[in-house]
Amino acid sequence: MFENIGFGELLLIIIVLIVFFGPKRIPDIMQSVGKGMREFKRAMRDVQDEVTKAVEEKPKPKPAEPKQVSQPTPNQELKTDSSTGFRSSSEQSKTEAKS
């Protein structure tokens, strides 16, 4: 970020700081800036840790939702094969022909 600042620019910045704030207040200002930067870095690290934890945690499986079973109409006769529990193809075709 500051790799393009040369010695002349740095000297100009220091002179402007001394003129505006005076030599006695500059250490206090720099100390406040340092504390602010440390606090910012700590907050960023905390956010990164929370995101990392959230990504690493496996999402809990959703509970299975009950399936909606359509009820047969009163006119429709429901016959099932006793061995499989499903309607046979001949019975399905008869039911479809009635509809």
Residues 21-37 have pLDDT tens digits of 888 888 898 899 899 99
Q: CA 34: distance to chain centroid?
A: 32
Report the predicted TM-score, pTM, of the whole model to 2 decimal places: 0.42
What are the sequence ranges of the domains in the chain?
Answer: 7-56
Sign of the Cα torsion 37, 39, 44, 45 reads: positive
| Regions of the chain where pLDDT drops below 70 | 1-2, 58-61, 69-99
* pLDDT for position 36: 95
* pLDDT for position 83: 57
* pLDDT for position 31: 93
